[in-house]
Amino acid sequence: MNPSKFIWKNGELLPWESATVHVMSHALHYGTSIFEGIRCYKTNEGRAIFRLDAHMRRFVESAKMYRIPLKHSQEQLMEGCRQTIDANGLTNAYIRPLSFYGAGSLGVVPGSNVPVETVIIAIEWGAYLGEEGLTQGIDVCVSSWSRTTSSSIPVLAKAGGHYLNAMLIGGEARRNGYVEGISVSDKGTISEGSAENIFLIRDQIIYTPPLGAAILGGITRASIIELAKSLGYEVVEQQLPRELMYVADEIFFTGTAAEVTPVRSVDGIEVGCGSRGPITEKIQSAFFGLFDGTTPDAHRWLDPVPTTTKA
């Protein structure tokens, strides 16, 4: 990871090395944080953040679910993202807004004396699951760890503590020689990857688990559903049995970090042709086409970042 020059913290831009937290921060001990992952892309019209409003709406909603009192409005946070990109002179970048309980108490339930800190970080970051994976596909496995459900935590929130579950799922996969892991429920239905939503294609129909499958309601997932429909494909959201992955024609992951990444095998069983399939390729092209201008931005998903800062 290459450090940037500035980090937005509590409303002001600070030098990278100055944006620190105390070791007694509540979030460090108990995972009491919420965050987002957002990408900024180079486009024909200049740099633009993909679906900034949707991401920051989910950020605010995550805080609401956990009753974390944010000090900044959604619009202020969106502007903070633009400022951070601009101040660091970045074009293709990954943005990480993060709000967390700081130092003040070791009690599990943070009291009013525990401050809520907010930072926005922007860095250069390439393909999360590897550049080759975007074209050739990746090998994945079904994890022995199940996805945490809404009976335990609000899974629709993007909260720091939730990703201990993701670390177990992804870590197990990597130790066993796979690139990523997939979680299933105790009923054997597919949930998602450790940090990605999943789509399966069979007989020209695109399937994806619904929100009720204990998935994060991915912004990229929602975007791909719209793009797939615009290409004329039927998209079905329903509970999916694990074994459907073994007989799928194509499988791909979506996510801010993963973008659109094909899956070439599950548990050692080849998916379709064992590489990126034709429908996945069309969807990938439509997605990345949003940034090179070959796909019209019909939904106004691109949020321009003007150059205003004198670094």
Residue 271 tokens, joined? 């998916």
Q: Burial of 2 by CB count in 10 Å (0-12 exposed, 13-18 middle, 19+ buried)?
A: exposed
The H helix count followed by the E strand count for the chain is: 7, 17
Q: Are 79 and 87 in contact (CB under 8 A)?
A: no
Q: Of the listed 42, 158, 229, 310, which one is catalytic? A: 158
User: Is there a catalytic annotation at residue 158?
Assistant: yes
Say how many C-beta atoms besides its own lie within 10 A of residue 308's C-beta: 9
Residue 287 tokens, joined? 């997605």
Residue 289 tokens, joined? 């086409």
Q: How many angstroms separate the CA atoms of 246 and 227, rounded?
A: 25
Residue identified by tokens 């239905």 is 189
Q: How many angstroms separate the CA atoms of 289 and 226, rounded?
A: 14
Q: Which residues contact 110 (CB under 8 A, 6 or more apart)?
A: 26, 32, 101, 104
Longest Cα–Cα distance in the chain: 58
Q: How many angstroms separate the CA atoms of 54 and 149, rounded?
A: 23
Q: Are 30 and 100 in contact (CB under 8 A)?
A: no
Q: How many angstroms separate the CA atoms of 79 and 82, rounded?
A: 5
Q: Are 116 and 47 in contact (CB under 8 A)?
A: no
Q: How many angstroms separate the CA atoms of 303 and 82, rounded?
A: 9
Q: How many angstroms separate the CA atoms of 184 and 190, rounded?
A: 4
Catalytic residues: 158
